Structure 1
Amino acid sequence: MSADRLSVVIPCVDEGGVIERLLDSLQPLRKAGHELILVDGGSTDSTVALAAPHVDHLIDAPRGRARQMNAGAHIASGDILWFLHADSTVSCDAVELIVKGLTSVECCWGRFDVSLSGHHPLLRVVEFMMNWRSRLTGIATGDQGIFVRRHAFFTVGGFPDIALMEDIALSRRLKRLSRPHCLRQRIGTSSRRWEKQGVVVTIFRMWWLRLAFALGADPDKLARQYHQCSSPIQDS
């Protein structure tokens, strides 16, 4: 195993329909000595029971991705923190790419390109724009599997305790230390929120939320709007 040990932090609430798939794909990491941490925000479905046998630590934290991910980071023992959403799909060489990327370049953090699961043609446009914009601006979203050296994460104070756009805010903090290492390798994520309300409607809603946040809107109010177009997958 590389000298760089990863702690994978996964925040979730009611993700019983997808969590096993992700955790199954991460088991080779555990066998290699890396660490899996699941932070539950009060699930009422089978998430906890399904996840417990497949992680090194399963902890509870107040609901909210920022709070949950910070809680996971505080108990993590790895040199690198890798934050994944429960509906992510990762490749078997992801850890090697992370370690190599943070070793070979003057970066203390980074992210993957993203691939959306749906087949609607507009989702390919969404993917392209997300990846291009991220590479141009140095801002990453949670869907892109943000990874960061532990010392850098705590140097900038971790995720700010806000209800939405915590990934954008963390990126801004980390950019003070270095530009992100933008991996072209893709990490998959569910397109469920795009498909629930319609792709076009969701594109404009997400653009509006990002613009409003940039202009200083209250993250709590934006979070309520966001959750209107977000739909956890229930147990199958």
Structure 2
Amino acid sequence: MVNIGTLDISVVIPTLEAGATLSETLGMLGSVEEIVVVDGGSRDGTQDVAIRHGARFVRAAKGRGYQLAAGADLARSEWLLFLHADTHLEPGWKSAVTDFIASPPNKEKAAAFSFTLDDMSPQARRLEWIVALRARTLGLPYGDQGLLIHRDLYRAVGGYPSWELMEDVDLVRRIGRKRLVILPIAANTSAFRWKQEGWFTRSARNLFCLSLYYLHVPPRLIARIYGSS
């Protein structure tokens, strides 16, 4: 185990009207070298929350792909951790990340966390199982599982595309299943959207959008379908 002081990573977080969830996400990060919050046009208190927690706050074109790419360009550390604004890493994440980046061969790999939801229902447990199966067998962790990657590998595979949607799937596909590690630490994500839209409806829509991506439907059209569902 490597001793942990200030963890030398840049955490990049895309935001849009994330004032209600961002504070908890930033609060659990503790001492890291840099946090870059890349906002897509929030009008709530997102900027105030970011600044209060000592993060760099910058603006970019709306859309996670645009925002993540912009944040990676601005980040200063060699290791990058991409994280959603409503995803909270469980205690022990810094030890797991420190151990991962301390191993030289892992500069050629990337890591994601295990997916969990902040809901105790059977539907949540079922979805967590499905996501774990998808990540393990297909090598397809989504953005709400975070992504830890060395800058050299990030650049070598081309980084995040400037897309509104499916940017996470596209990047991990280019990384490849053999270079992806799922860390035994939970990234706990809000279940609000599943409960609001319906567990089956949201999951079916996500699967439909993934299918469209594999059929080479342009991401801008998938984003329209996703937004209108």
Identify whether the pair has TM-score above 0.5, normalized to the shorter chain: yes
Q: 2-side partners of 1:67 and 1:172: how far apart?
A: 18
Determine whether 1:193 maps to 2:193: yes
How do residues 108-187 of structure 1 correspond to structure 2 at under 5 angstroms? Answer: 108-175=109-176, 178-187=178-187
How far off its partner does 1:204 sit?
1.3
Contact 1:110 1:147 in 2 (8 A): yes
Contact 1:102 1:109 in 2 (8 A): no
Q: 2-side partners of 1:2 and 1:179: how far apart?
A: 27
- Quote the residue 2:31 is aligned against: 29
Counting aligned pairs with the same residue, the percent is 32
- Equivalent AA in structure 1 for residue 185 of structure 2: Q
Contact 2:23 2:50 in 1 (8 A): yes
Alignment partner of 1:17: what SS? Answer: helix
- Quote the residue 1:233 is aligned against: none
Could you give the per-residue CA deviations for residues 23-72 of structure 1, whole angstroms, max 9, x where no partner exists? Answer: 1222x224xxx211111111111111122121341111111111111111
**After TM superposition, where is structure 1 displaced by more than 6 Å over at least 4 residues in a row?**
none
- Quote the residue 2:206 is aligned against: 206
Q: Which moved more, 1:218-227 or 1:159-168?
A: 218-227
| Residues 118/164 of structure 1: CA separation in 2 closer, same or farther (3 Å cut) | same
How do residues 11-22 of structure 1 correspond to structure 2 at under 5 angstroms? Answer: 11-22=14-25
| Residues 191/60 of structure 1: CA separation in 2 closer, same or farther (3 Å cut) | same
Contact 1:37 1:55 in 2 (8 A): no
| Residues 45/4 of structure 1: CA separation in 2 closer, same or farther (3 Å cut) | closer
Q: 2-side partners of 1:64 and 1:126: how far apart?
A: 25
The structure in which a higher percent of residues are strand is 2
Alignment partner of 1:18: what SS? Answer: helix
Q: Which runs of 5+ in 1 are unaligned?
A: 230-236
Tell me the C-alpha RMSD between the 2 structures: 1.9
TM-score (norm 2): 0.91
Q: 1-side partners of 2:181 and 2:5: how far apart?
A: 19
